[in-house]
A = this chain, B = another copy of it.
Amino acid sequence: MTETTPRRVTSADVARVAGVSRATVSYVMNATPSQTISPGTRTRVLDAAARLGYAPSAAARALRTGRSDVVLCLLPDWPIGPEVGALLGNLSKALARAGLTFVAHPGNREDRPIAEIWKAITPAAVLAFTDFSDDEIDAMRSAGVALVVALLGRSRQRRGELEVPQHLVGRLQAGRLAGRGHTRLGYAFPDDDRVRFFADPRLAGVRAACADLGLAAPAVETVALDPVAAAAAVRRWRAGGVTGVCAYNDEVALAVLAGLRSAGLSAPAGLAVIGVDDIAVARLADPPLTTVTTDQVAVAAHLAATVLAAITGAPPPPSPMTDLVQVVARDSG
A interface, CB within 8 angstroms of B = 6, 8, 53, 55, 57-60, 62-63, 66, 68-70, 72, 77, 79-82, 84-86, 88-89, 91-93, 96, 101-107, 111-112, 115-117, 119-122, 139, 142-143, 225-227, 251, 254-255, 257-258, 261, 280-281, 283-286, 288
Cβ 8 A contact of A85, one of B8, B81, B225: B81
Partner of A225, one of B68, B142, B143, B280: B280
Partner of A55, one of B70, B91, B115, B281: B115
- Enumerate chain B residues within 8 angstroms of A68, measured Cβ to Cβ: 59, 120
Q: What are the residues of chain B within 8 A of A81 when measuring CB–CB?
A: 81-82, 85
Write 25 A-B pairs (CB below 8 A) sorted by A numbering.
A6-B142, A8-B66, A55-B115, A58-B120, A59-B68, A59-B122, A70-B120, A77-B89, A80-B80, A88-B106, A89-B106, A89-B107, A92-B105, A101-B120, A102-B105, A102-B106, A225-B283, A225-B284, A226-B283, A226-B284, A227-B284, A251-B280, A254-B284, A258-B285, A261-B286
Q: Are B58 and A119 in contact (CB under 8 A)?
A: yes
- Complex Cα distance, B66 from A58, in Å, reads 10
For the A-B complex with A58-B120, A80-B80, A84-B85 known, give 8 more contacts whose Cβ atoms are closer than 8 Å: A57-B63, A59-B122, A60-B63, A79-B85, A92-B106, A93-B107, A93-B111, A226-B283
Q: Kindly state the separation between the CA atoms of A86 and B66 in the bound complex, as whole angstroms.
A: 33
Contact B283 A55 (CB under 8 A): no
Q: Which residues of B contact A53 (CB under 8 A)?
A: 139
CB distance from A297 to the nearest CB of B (A): 13
Q: Are B82 and A111 in contact (CB under 8 A)?
A: no
| Contact A121 B103, beta carbon cutoff 8 Å | yes
Q: How far is the CB of A288 from chain B (nearest CB, A)?
A: 8
Give which listed residue, B103, B111, B119, B288, contacts A96 with CB less than 8 A: B111
A104 touches B103 (CB 8 A): yes
Copies in the complex: 2
Q: Give Cα A309 to B167, complex, Å.
A: 47
What distance in Å separates the Cβ of A264 from its nearest Cβ neighbour in chain B? 13
On whether A63 and B59 interact (CB within 8 A), knowing A106-B92, A121-B70, A284-B257, the answer reads yes
Residue of B nearest to A95 (CB): B107
Residues of B within 8 A of A254 (CB): 281, 284
Contacts of A258 in B (CB 8 A): 284-286
How far does the Cβ of A236 sit from chain B's closest Cβ, in whole Å? 19
Sorted from nearest, which 5 A-B pairs have the closest CB atoms?
A: A59-B62, A6-B142, A92-B107, A103-B103, A59-B63
A105 neighbours in B (Cβ, 8 Å): 92, 101-104
B contact residues around A84 at 8 Å (CB)? 85
- Beta-carbon contact of B106 and A104 below 8 Å: yes
